[in-house]
Protein backbone atom coordinates (compact mmCIF):
# COMPACT_ATOMS: atom_id res chain seq x y z
CA UNK A 1 0.00 0.00 0.00
CA UNK A 2 1.30 3.50 -0.83
CA UNK A 3 2.58 5.63 2.05
CA UNK A 4 -0.20 8.12 3.01
CA UNK A 5 2.54 10.55 4.09
CA UNK A 6 3.61 10.86 0.43
CA UNK A 7 0.92 13.41 -0.45
CA UNK A 8 0.27 13.28 -4.18
CA UNK A 9 -2.98 15.20 -3.67
CA UNK A 10 -3.44 17.51 -0.69
CA UNK A 11 -6.60 19.27 0.46
CA UNK A 12 -5.51 21.99 2.91
CA UNK A 13 -8.17 23.71 5.06
CA UNK A 14 -10.74 23.54 2.26
CA UNK A 15 -14.12 25.19 2.66
CA UNK A 16 -16.86 25.59 0.08
CA UNK A 17 -20.08 27.57 0.26
CA UNK A 18 -22.52 28.36 -2.53
CA UNK A 19 -24.58 30.99 -0.73
CA UNK A 20 -22.07 32.54 1.69
CA UNK A 21 -23.83 31.01 4.68
CA UNK A 22 -24.05 27.20 4.60
CA UNK A 23 -20.78 25.30 4.17
CA UNK A 24 -21.09 22.40 1.71
CA UNK A 25 -17.54 21.41 2.67
CA UNK A 26 -15.92 22.56 5.90
CA UNK A 27 -12.41 22.37 7.32
CA UNK A 28 -11.34 19.63 4.92
CA UNK A 29 -7.78 18.34 5.31
CA UNK A 30 -6.96 15.20 3.39
CA UNK A 31 -3.88 13.69 1.76
CA UNK A 32 -4.04 11.15 -1.07
CA UNK A 33 -0.89 9.10 -1.66
CA UNK A 34 0.60 8.47 -5.09
CA UNK A 35 -0.89 5.26 -6.51
CA UNK A 36 -3.61 5.08 -3.88
CA UNK A 37 -7.25 4.09 -4.42
CA UNK A 38 -9.12 6.46 -2.12
CA UNK A 39 -12.91 6.45 -1.90
CA UNK A 40 -15.00 9.36 -0.68
CA UNK A 41 -18.07 7.76 0.89
CA UNK A 42 -21.17 9.35 2.34
CA UNK A 43 -24.89 9.99 1.95
CA UNK A 44 -26.33 12.52 -0.50
CA UNK A 45 -25.45 16.08 0.47
CA UNK A 46 -22.46 15.08 2.59
CA UNK A 47 -19.92 17.04 0.52
CA UNK A 48 -18.12 14.20 -1.23
CA UNK A 49 -19.07 15.10 -4.81
CA UNK A 50 -18.40 18.80 -4.20
CA UNK A 51 -14.93 17.84 -3.00
CA UNK A 52 -14.34 15.76 -6.14
CA UNK A 53 -15.56 18.60 -8.39
CA UNK A 54 -13.12 21.01 -6.70
CA UNK A 55 -10.28 18.56 -7.37
CA UNK A 56 -11.39 18.23 -11.00
CA UNK A 57 -11.55 22.02 -11.40
CA UNK A 58 -15.31 22.31 -12.01
CA UNK A 59 -15.79 24.03 -8.64
CA UNK A 60 -13.54 26.57 -6.88
CA UNK A 61 -12.83 26.39 -3.12
CA UNK A 62 -14.13 29.32 -1.08
CA UNK A 63 -11.14 28.94 1.24
CA UNK A 64 -8.01 26.81 1.41
CA UNK A 65 -5.82 25.20 -1.24
CA UNK A 66 -5.69 22.01 -3.31
CA UNK A 67 -2.22 20.79 -4.24
CA UNK A 68 -1.24 18.24 -6.88
CA UNK A 69 2.35 17.02 -6.57
CA UNK A 70 3.06 19.93 -4.24
CA UNK A 71 1.75 22.65 -6.60
CA UNK A 72 -1.48 24.59 -6.12
CA UNK A 73 -4.02 23.88 -8.86
CA UNK A 74 -6.81 26.16 -7.61
CA UNK A 75 -6.43 28.60 -10.53
CA UNK A 76 -5.64 25.95 -13.12
CA UNK A 77 -8.47 25.17 -15.60
CA UNK A 78 -9.74 21.55 -15.70
CA UNK A 79 -8.19 20.71 -19.08
CA UNK A 80 -4.69 21.57 -17.83
CA UNK A 81 -4.80 19.41 -14.69
CA UNK A 82 -4.00 16.16 -16.52
CA UNK A 83 -6.87 14.38 -14.77
CA UNK A 84 -9.05 11.59 -16.19
CA UNK A 85 -12.74 11.67 -15.27
CA UNK A 86 -15.46 8.99 -15.30
CA UNK A 87 -19.10 9.95 -14.69
CA UNK A 88 -22.17 7.86 -13.87
CA UNK A 89 -23.75 8.99 -17.17
CA UNK A 90 -20.70 7.73 -19.16
CA UNK A 91 -20.63 11.07 -21.13
CA UNK A 92 -19.62 9.33 -24.37
CA UNK A 93 -20.05 11.07 -27.73
CA UNK A 94 -22.98 9.22 -29.36
CA UNK A 95 -22.01 10.17 -32.94
CA UNK A 96 -18.49 8.74 -32.56
CA UNK A 97 -17.35 5.13 -32.61
CA UNK A 98 -15.66 3.62 -29.56
CA UNK A 99 -12.25 4.17 -31.12
CA UNK A 100 -13.10 7.80 -31.95
CA UNK A 101 -14.28 8.41 -28.39
CA UNK A 102 -10.95 7.15 -27.07
CA UNK A 103 -8.94 9.05 -29.66
CA UNK A 104 -10.61 12.38 -28.86
CA UNK A 105 -8.56 13.31 -25.73
CA UNK A 106 -5.40 12.28 -27.59
CA UNK A 107 -6.21 14.49 -30.58
CA UNK A 108 -6.86 17.41 -28.23
CA UNK A 109 -3.33 16.86 -26.93
CA UNK A 110 -2.08 16.87 -30.53
CA UNK A 111 -0.52 13.40 -30.53
CA UNK A 112 0.49 11.82 -33.84
CA UNK A 113 -1.74 9.32 -35.67
CA UNK A 114 0.51 6.30 -35.04
CA UNK A 115 0.76 7.06 -31.31
CA UNK A 116 -2.98 7.62 -31.08
CA UNK A 117 -3.72 4.27 -32.72
CA UNK A 118 -1.32 2.47 -30.37
CA UNK A 119 -2.77 4.09 -27.24
CA UNK A 120 -6.37 3.44 -28.31
CA UNK A 121 -5.60 -0.23 -28.97
CA UNK A 122 -3.86 -0.61 -25.64
CA UNK A 123 -6.78 1.03 -23.79
CA UNK A 124 -9.37 -1.14 -25.55
CA UNK A 125 -7.41 -4.30 -24.77
CA UNK A 126 -7.13 -3.24 -21.14
CA UNK A 127 -10.93 -3.17 -20.76
CA UNK A 128 -11.43 -6.21 -23.02
CA UNK A 129 -13.26 -4.35 -25.80
CA UNK A 130 -10.74 -4.76 -28.60
CA UNK A 131 -13.34 -6.21 -31.03
CA UNK A 132 -15.87 -3.41 -30.43
CA UNK A 133 -13.80 -0.43 -31.55
CA UNK A 134 -15.93 0.28 -34.64
CA UNK A 135 -19.25 0.28 -32.78
CA UNK A 136 -21.09 3.34 -31.50
CA UNK A 137 -22.03 3.66 -27.81
CA UNK A 138 -25.71 2.91 -28.57
CA UNK A 139 -24.67 -0.52 -29.85
CA UNK A 140 -23.08 -1.47 -26.52
CA UNK A 141 -24.51 -2.67 -23.22
CA UNK A 142 -24.39 -0.47 -20.14
CA UNK A 143 -21.40 -2.36 -18.78
CA UNK A 144 -19.54 -2.06 -22.08
CA UNK A 145 -20.25 1.68 -22.24
CA UNK A 146 -18.84 2.05 -18.73
CA UNK A 147 -15.70 0.22 -19.83
CA UNK A 148 -15.33 2.64 -22.74
CA UNK A 149 -15.71 5.59 -20.37
CA UNK A 150 -13.03 4.09 -18.13
CA UNK A 151 -10.71 3.47 -21.09
CA UNK A 152 -11.17 7.06 -22.29
CA UNK A 153 -10.22 8.36 -18.83
CA UNK A 154 -7.03 6.27 -18.89
CA UNK A 155 -6.00 6.46 -22.55
CA UNK A 156 -3.85 9.60 -22.21
CA UNK A 157 -1.95 8.25 -19.15
CA UNK A 158 -3.26 10.86 -16.66
CA UNK A 159 -1.60 11.53 -13.33
CA UNK A 160 -4.91 11.12 -11.56
CA UNK A 161 -8.29 9.51 -12.31
CA UNK A 162 -11.54 10.68 -10.69
CA UNK A 163 -14.74 8.63 -10.69
CA UNK A 164 -18.11 10.05 -9.65
CA UNK A 165 -20.64 7.27 -8.89
CA UNK A 166 -19.55 5.45 -12.09
CA UNK A 167 -21.46 2.23 -11.42
CA UNK A 168 -24.72 3.70 -10.16
CA UNK A 169 -26.65 2.98 -13.38
CA UNK A 170 -25.69 -0.72 -13.55
CA UNK A 171 -27.58 -3.69 -12.12
CA UNK A 172 -26.25 -5.45 -9.03
CA UNK A 173 -24.43 -8.32 -10.74
CA UNK A 174 -22.78 -6.12 -13.35
CA UNK A 175 -21.90 -3.51 -10.72
CA UNK A 176 -20.09 -6.12 -8.63
CA UNK A 177 -18.25 -7.39 -11.71
CA UNK A 178 -17.15 -3.85 -12.64
CA UNK A 179 -15.96 -3.19 -9.08
CA UNK A 180 -13.42 -5.99 -9.42
CA UNK A 181 -12.43 -4.92 -12.93
CA UNK A 182 -11.72 -1.34 -11.81
CA UNK A 183 -9.80 -2.63 -8.80
CA UNK A 184 -7.64 -4.90 -10.99
CA UNK A 185 -6.98 -2.13 -13.54
CA UNK A 186 -5.91 0.19 -10.74
CA UNK A 187 -3.57 -2.44 -9.35
CA UNK A 188 -2.02 -3.15 -12.76
CA UNK A 189 -1.54 0.50 -13.75
CA UNK A 190 -0.66 1.95 -10.35
CA UNK A 191 -2.54 5.16 -11.18
CA UNK A 192 -3.83 7.38 -8.36
CA UNK A 193 -7.61 7.03 -8.19
CA UNK A 194 -10.20 9.03 -6.23
CA UNK A 195 -13.66 7.47 -6.27
CA UNK A 196 -16.99 8.83 -5.03
CA UNK A 197 -19.90 6.62 -3.96
CA UNK A 198 -22.73 6.38 -1.44
CA UNK A 199 -22.55 2.55 -1.55
CA UNK A 200 -20.60 1.35 1.49
CA UNK A 201 -20.17 -2.24 0.21
CA UNK A 202 -18.67 -0.84 -3.00
CA UNK A 203 -16.24 1.27 -0.98
CA UNK A 204 -15.22 -1.67 1.22
CA UNK A 205 -14.62 -3.90 -1.82
CA UNK A 206 -12.44 -1.55 -3.85
CA UNK A 207 -10.54 0.92 -1.70
CA UNK A 208 -7.10 1.20 -0.14
CA UNK A 209 -8.60 3.82 2.18
CA UNK A 210 -12.05 5.33 2.67
CA UNK A 211 -12.88 8.88 3.75
CA UNK A 212 -16.36 8.92 5.30
CA UNK A 213 -18.19 12.23 4.75
CA UNK A 214 -21.12 13.61 6.72
CA UNK A 215 -22.50 17.14 6.92
CA UNK A 216 -19.64 18.56 4.85
CA UNK A 217 -16.85 17.11 6.98
CA UNK A 218 -14.76 13.95 7.07
CA UNK A 219 -15.75 11.75 10.00
CA UNK A 220 -12.98 9.15 9.66
CA UNK A 221 -10.32 8.11 7.14
CA UNK A 222 -9.05 4.53 7.33
CA UNK A 223 -8.52 1.26 5.49
CA UNK A 224 -11.75 -0.74 4.93
CA UNK A 225 -11.13 -3.29 7.69
CA UNK A 226 -10.12 -0.58 10.16
CA UNK A 227 -13.21 1.45 9.34
CA UNK A 228 -15.56 -1.52 9.75
CA UNK A 229 -13.97 -3.05 12.84
CA UNK A 230 -13.04 0.17 14.66
CA UNK A 231 -15.43 3.05 13.83
CA UNK A 232 -14.55 6.20 15.77
CA UNK A 233 -18.03 7.70 16.11
CA UNK A 234 -21.67 6.66 15.99
CA UNK A 235 -22.26 7.95 12.45
CA UNK A 236 -19.45 5.84 10.96
CA UNK A 237 -20.55 2.78 12.96
CA UNK A 238 -24.09 3.09 11.64
CA UNK A 239 -23.23 4.04 8.05
CA UNK A 240 -20.62 1.33 7.46
CA UNK A 241 -22.27 -2.07 7.57
CA UNK A 242 -25.00 -2.99 10.03
CA UNK A 243 -24.79 -2.17 13.71
CA UNK A 244 -26.99 -2.64 16.77
CA UNK A 245 -27.35 0.53 18.83
CA UNK A 246 -28.03 0.60 22.55
CA UNK A 247 -28.46 3.92 24.36
CA UNK A 248 -27.24 4.24 27.93
CA UNK A 249 -25.35 6.19 30.58
CA UNK A 250 -21.75 5.61 31.61
CA UNK A 251 -21.50 4.40 35.23
CA UNK A 252 -17.76 3.78 35.45
CA UNK A 253 -14.56 4.02 33.42
CA UNK A 254 -12.15 1.11 33.82
CA UNK A 255 -9.10 1.94 31.74
CA UNK A 256 -9.88 1.06 28.13
CA UNK A 257 -13.36 -0.26 29.03
CA UNK A 258 -16.42 1.20 30.68
CA UNK A 259 -19.62 0.08 32.41
CA UNK A 260 -22.81 1.40 30.82
CA UNK A 261 -26.31 1.30 32.28
CA UNK A 262 -28.81 0.44 29.55
CA UNK A 263 -32.50 0.89 30.46
CA UNK A 264 -34.29 -2.45 30.54
CA UNK A 265 -31.08 -4.48 30.42
CA UNK A 266 -28.84 -3.52 33.30
CA UNK A 267 -25.09 -3.12 33.00
CA UNK A 268 -23.12 -3.59 29.77
CA UNK A 269 -19.33 -3.80 29.57
CA UNK A 270 -17.93 -1.99 26.52
CA UNK A 271 -14.80 -0.58 24.95
CA UNK A 272 -14.56 3.15 25.69
CA UNK A 273 -13.81 4.58 22.24
CA UNK A 274 -15.51 7.96 22.12
CA UNK A 275 -17.17 8.13 25.52
CA UNK A 276 -17.62 11.53 27.18
CA UNK A 277 -17.13 10.32 30.78
CA UNK A 278 -18.93 9.07 33.87
CA UNK A 279 -22.53 10.23 34.05
CA UNK A 280 -22.68 11.11 30.37
CA UNK A 281 -24.87 9.52 27.72
CA UNK A 282 -23.38 7.15 25.15
CA UNK A 283 -24.39 4.94 22.23
CA UNK A 284 -23.17 1.35 22.23
CA UNK A 285 -22.42 -0.09 18.80
CA UNK A 286 -22.31 -3.85 18.25
CA UNK A 287 -22.06 -5.73 14.93
CA UNK A 288 -24.70 -8.50 14.54
CA UNK A 289 -22.07 -11.11 13.64
CA UNK A 290 -20.25 -10.47 16.94
CA UNK A 291 -23.22 -11.74 18.97
CA UNK A 292 -22.97 -15.36 20.20
CA UNK A 293 -25.93 -17.67 20.71
CA UNK A 294 -26.07 -19.69 23.93
CA UNK A 295 -22.57 -18.76 25.17
CA UNK A 296 -20.89 -20.97 27.76
CA UNK A 297 -21.31 -19.77 31.34
CA UNK A 298 -18.67 -17.21 32.27
CA UNK A 299 -17.20 -17.05 28.76
CA UNK A 300 -18.43 -13.55 27.86
CA UNK A 301 -18.63 -10.23 29.71
CA UNK A 302 -22.18 -9.53 28.52
CA UNK A 303 -24.94 -12.16 28.61
CA UNK A 304 -28.67 -11.47 28.25
CA UNK A 305 -31.96 -13.26 27.66
CA UNK A 306 -33.84 -12.35 24.49
CA UNK A 307 -36.98 -13.35 22.61
CA UNK A 308 -36.90 -14.16 18.89
CA UNK A 309 -39.25 -11.81 17.01
CA UNK A 310 -38.50 -12.61 13.37
CA UNK A 311 -36.30 -14.88 11.26
CA UNK A 312 -35.11 -14.09 7.73
CA UNK A 313 -33.38 -16.74 5.62
CA UNK A 314 -30.58 -15.24 3.50
CA UNK A 315 -28.87 -18.34 2.11
CA UNK A 316 -25.44 -18.29 3.71
CA UNK A 317 -26.79 -17.02 7.03
CA UNK A 318 -29.95 -16.53 9.06
CA UNK A 319 -30.84 -13.01 10.24
CA UNK A 320 -32.70 -13.04 13.54
CA UNK A 321 -34.44 -9.98 14.96
CA UNK A 322 -34.83 -10.30 18.71
CA UNK A 323 -36.34 -8.31 21.55
CA UNK A 324 -33.59 -7.20 23.91
CA UNK A 325 -33.02 -4.34 26.31
CA UNK A 326 -36.49 -2.92 25.72
CA UNK A 327 -36.16 -2.77 21.96
CA UNK A 328 -37.40 -5.15 19.31
CA UNK A 329 -34.96 -4.47 16.49
CA UNK A 330 -31.76 -5.99 17.89
CA UNK A 331 -30.24 -8.19 15.16
CA UNK A 332 -28.01 -11.25 15.28
CA UNK A 333 -26.59 -13.22 12.36
CA UNK A 334 -26.27 -16.99 12.46
CA UNK A 335 -24.17 -18.83 9.84
CA UNK A 336 -25.98 -21.46 7.81
CA UNK A 337 -23.82 -24.34 9.02
CA UNK A 338 -24.56 -27.85 10.18
CA UNK A 339 -24.85 -27.94 13.94
CA UNK A 340 -26.04 -24.35 14.36
CA UNK A 341 -29.13 -24.17 16.57
CA UNK A 342 -32.36 -23.67 14.60
CA UNK A 343 -34.56 -20.96 16.06
CA UNK A 344 -38.30 -20.36 15.96
CA UNK A 345 -40.19 -17.07 16.36
CA UNK A 346 -41.24 -16.54 19.97
CA UNK A 347 -38.45 -18.72 21.41
CA UNK A 348 -36.46 -17.47 24.41
CA UNK A 349 -32.71 -17.55 23.84
CA UNK A 350 -29.51 -16.49 25.57
CA UNK A 351 -27.08 -14.28 23.71
CA UNK A 352 -23.79 -12.65 24.62
CA UNK A 353 -20.81 -10.67 23.39
CA UNK A 354 -17.32 -9.61 24.41
CA UNK A 355 -16.71 -6.18 25.92
CA UNK A 356 -14.14 -5.37 23.19
CA UNK A 357 -16.74 -6.02 20.45
CA UNK A 358 -19.12 -3.45 21.91
CA UNK A 359 -17.96 0.14 21.34
CA UNK A 360 -19.08 3.07 23.50
CA UNK A 361 -19.37 6.05 21.14
CA UNK A 362 -20.70 9.61 21.10
CA UNK A 363 -24.40 9.96 21.90
CA UNK A 364 -25.16 12.16 18.85
More confident residue, 314 or 244: 244
User: Looking at the predicted structure, is the pLDDT value of residue 4 above 70?
Assistant: no
Q: Specify the CATH architecture of the domain 7-234.
A: 3-Layer(aba) Sandwich (3.40)
Q: How far is CA 342 from CA 110, 300, 338, 346, 350, in A?
A: 68, 22, 10, 13, 13
User: Looking at the predicted structure, is the pLDDT value of residue 222 above 50?
Assistant: yes
More confident residue, 121 or 364: 121
CB 91 within 8 Å of CB 84: no
User: Looking at the predicted structure, is the pLDDT value of residue 59 above 90?
Assistant: yes
CB 196 within 8 Å of CB 39: yes
For 292, other C-beta atoms within 10 Å of its C-beta total: 19
307-339: b (≥16 Cβ within 10 Å) or e: ebeebeeeeebbebbbbbbebeebbbbbeeeee
- Domain 242-361 top-level CATH class: mainly beta
| pLDDT of res. 30 | 97
Q: Say which range, 130-139, 289-298, 326-335, has the weakest mean pLDDT.
A: 326-335
pLDDT confidence tier of residue 340, bands split at 50, 70 and 90: low
Return the H-helix or E-strand segment holding 116.
helix 113-126
More confident residue, 333 or 276: 333
pLDDT confidence tier of residue 318, bands split at 50, 70 and 90: confident
What's the mean pLDDT when you consider all of the chain?
91
CB 153 within 8 Å of CB 123: no
In angstroms, the first-to-last Cα distance of the chain is 34
Q: Say which range, 172-176, 191-195, 256-260, 354-358, has the weakest mean pLDDT.
A: 172-176
The sign of the CA dihedral 248, 210, 217, 88 is negative
DSSP-derived letter for residue 356 is G
- pTM, full prediction: 0.90
pLDDT confidence tier of residue 2, bands split at 50, 70 and 90: very low
CA 228 distance to own-chain centroid? 10
- Report angle CA 54, 103, 185 to the nearest 5 degrees: 65
User: SS3 for 166?
Assistant: coil
| pLDDT of res. 338 | 67
Q: What is the mean pLDDT of residues 200-208?
A: 94
User: Looking at the predicted structure, is the pLDDT value of residue 1 above 70?
Assistant: no
DSSP symbols for 140-157:
S-HHHHHHHHHHHHHTT-
Q: Where are the domains of the chain?
A: 7-234, 242-361
CB 272 within 8 Å of CB 286: no
More confident residue, 138 or 88: 138
More confident residue, 248 or 342: 248
Q: Say which range, 30-34, 112-116, 129-133, has the weakest mean pLDDT.
A: 129-133
User: Looking at the predicted structure, is the pLDDT value of residue 236 above 80?
Assistant: yes
pLDDT confidence tier of residue 339, bands split at 50, 70 and 90: low
User: Looking at the predicted structure, is the pLDDT value of residue 253 above 90?
Assistant: yes
CB 211 within 8 Å of CB 55: no
pLDDT confidence tier of residue 363, bands split at 50, 70 and 90: confident
Amino acid sequence: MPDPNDAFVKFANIQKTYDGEVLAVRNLNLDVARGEFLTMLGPSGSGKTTTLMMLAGFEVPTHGAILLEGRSIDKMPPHRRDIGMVFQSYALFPHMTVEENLAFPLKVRKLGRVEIEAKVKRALDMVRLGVHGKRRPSQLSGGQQQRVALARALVFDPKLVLMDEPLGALDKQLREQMQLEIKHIHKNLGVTLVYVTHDQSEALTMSDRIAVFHDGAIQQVAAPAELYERPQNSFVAQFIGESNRLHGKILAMNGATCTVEVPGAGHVQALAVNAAGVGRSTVLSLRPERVSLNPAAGSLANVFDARVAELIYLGDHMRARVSLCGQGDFVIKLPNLEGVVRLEPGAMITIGWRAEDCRALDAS
